[in-house]
Amino acid sequence: MVKICCIGAGYVGGPTMAVIALKCPSVEVAVVDISVPRINAWNSDQLPIYEPGLDDVVKQCRGKNLFFSTDVEKHVREADIVFVSVNTPTKTRGLGAGKAADLTYWESAARMIADVSVSDKIVVEKSTVPVKTAEAIEKILTHNSKGIKFQILSNPEFLAEGTAIEDLFKPDRVLIGGRETPEGFAAVKALKDVYSQWVPEERILTTNLWSAELSKLAANAFLAQRISSVNAMSALCEATGLMSLRCPTPSKDILNLVYICECNGLPEVAEYWKQVIKINDYQKTRFVNRIVSSMFNTVSNKKIAVLGFAFKKDTGDTRETPAIDVCKGLLGDKARISIYDPQVTEEQIQRDLTMNKFDWDHPLHLQPMSPTTVKQVSVAWDAYAATKDAHGICILTEWDEFKKLDYEKIFENMQKPAFVFDGRNVVDAEKLRKIGFIVYSIGKPLDQWLKDMPALA
């Protein structure tokens, strides 16, 4: 029986391993994590992450060939294949701060693997990491190996949160990179044999280590670039009265790409990708400015209901959610905000609004909320409570339930004029205008009210 161990029971490790266990009954999968509450949650009815379909998969396999444990060393020692899917935040200090990936977690995982292993192992890089990380990890492993052989593979993840299980069941592609040596090819084949239990052969692509790593950064960069183009266009559409759509983008990995370009003497290329990120940040500032300017240039002491906090619907993940920047922008103008999200906990929201940018992925550096923020932010248990007595509503995640709210009732309970700022084009603006709301839909032509209140510079 092949034994797989995955270090890191997060958004990537958890769902991926659950699906491997489901599709490969002959493989024993252990998901390990240093976080006791996280593992306890995986072993309970309340899983630590929300993904449609995940509960079902976990229920079918847990206790049979899928185990969640904090005994990291035991399971690593027993495994044939070790996936590493630990956090890779952006560095907050030192060389490359704000851009380069912080590989502290990765490095300590690699040292631990080398330390506890008593048999040969395949080590699979699953987290999104800078190009050449595999080589660095290989060095740590081989220099500390006590004669044990490690083969390192890169198997980047292409799943999208919110549809992770669907994506894992039917992936567009599975990419496996390895060393181009007989041992390397054998390791690639061993991992391929796992995926080929349910993924058609032609969708499993094999390549060398750094091509696999670069493919992931490239895919993310193209996605961000496409979204930034749409965002840039939406600003023009609003100004000219044409229509367009918008969506948010993760920018963390692009910062990585900027750093790699700079380190390789390519400042122009770095500058190009920096602009892609800037356009995205600009979209958030523009949104906050629109809110403030429409509400007579101040939101000080006004109650703003924030509907949705997760970075997209059907997930509870808030890392890099535009809601953080928008809420911070509103708090900066002294608004009182009342937040409702169907999946994000109050604790998570308060933590996100307290943390500095780039601390998102650092579970160890939590800071207490400042007393002013505590006073200004409250978390509501439904959309009606959040919007009661509010001056304005900001829709920041496209949850389906926000389409079906009783907006007449909401309007009655709000201060007038009542505003809706729809950052995700969720609501039927015309219907809401008939009720009496002043509606701003991002990327759509402005109505007269908004035209009369030009956006702040």
DSSP string, 110-171: HHHHHHH--S-EEEEE-S---TTHHHHHHHHHHHT-TT--EEEEE------TTSHHHHHHS-
Nearer to ligand ADP, 128 or 387 (CB): 128
* Total Cβ atoms within 10 A of residue 77: 17
How far is Cα 447 from Cα 202, in angstroms, rounded to an integer? 51
Least distance between ligand ADP and beta carbon 310 (Å): 14
> Is position 90 annotated in a ligand binding site?
yes
CA 224 vs. chain centroid, Å, equals 13
Nearer to ligand ADP, 38 or 444 (CB): 38
Of the two residues 13 and 156, which places its CB atom closer to ligand ADP in the complex? 13
Q: Which residue, 127 or 350, has its beta carbon nearer to ligand ADP?
A: 127
Q: Which residue is nearest to ligand ADP (CB)?
A: 10
Q: Name the residue nearer to ligand ADP (CB basis): 113 or 380.
A: 113
Say whether 89 counts as a known binding-site residue: yes
12 is in an annotated binding site: yes
- CB 313 → ligand ADP: shortest distance, Å? 18
Neighbours of 415 (CB within 10 A): 12
Q: Give least dist CB 29 to ligand ADP, A.
A: 15
Q: In whole angstroms, what is the distance from residue 93 CA to residue 80 CA?
A: 36
Nearer to ligand ADP, 85 or 321 (CB): 85
Task: Provide the sign of the torsion angle of the four alpha carbons 352, 358, 362, 364, taken in this order.
Answer: negative
User: Is 290 annotated in some ligand binding site?
Assistant: no
d(CA 422, CA 226): 21
* CB closer to ligand ADP out of 8 and 96: 8
* Ramachandran class of 7: left when φ > 0, alpha when ψ lies in -120 to 50, beta otherwise: beta
Number of Cα atoms under 13 Å in the Cβ half of residue 45? 0
How far apart are CB 51 and ligand ADP at their closest, in Å? 12
Residue type, 51: E
Smallest separation (angstroms) from ligand ADP to the CB of 105: 4
Footprint of ligand ADP (CB under 6 A): 7-13, 32-35, 38, 72, 85-87, 105, 108-109, 127, 361, 363
Query: Which CB sits closer to ligand ADP, 104 or 373?
Result: 104
Please name the residues in contact with 101: beta carbons below 8 A apart, sequence gap of 6 or more.
Answer: 88, 89, 90, 91, 129, 130, 133, 256
Does the annotation flag 346 for ligand binding?
Answer: no
Residues 6+ apart with CB under 8 A from 349: 309, 318, 339, 341, 377, 379
Residue 384 labeled ligand binder: no
The answer to whether 10 is annotated as binding is yes
48 labelled binding-site residue: no
The annotation status of 387 as a binding-site residue, yes or no, is no
- Nearest-angstrom CA–CA distance, 307 and 58: 30
Q: Is 363 exposed, middle or buried (0-12, 13-18, 19+ CB in 10 A)?
A: middle
Comparison of 33 and 422: residue with beta carbon closer to ligand ADP: 33
11 carries a ligand binding annotation: yes
**Within a 10 A sphere around the Cβ of 387, how many other Cβ atoms?**
27
Q: How far is the CB of 48 from ligand ADP (least distance, A)?
A: 8
Maximal CA-CA distance, the chain: 75
Closest CA to 103 of 49, 151, 140, 56: 140
Q: Check the annotation: does 9 bind a ligand.
A: yes
Q: Which residues contact 215 (CB under 8 A, 6 or more apart)?
A: 156, 175, 207
Residues in binding site for NAD(+): 8-13, 33, 38, 86-90, 127-128, 161, 319
Residues in binding site: 8-13, 33, 38, 86-90, 127-128, 161, 319
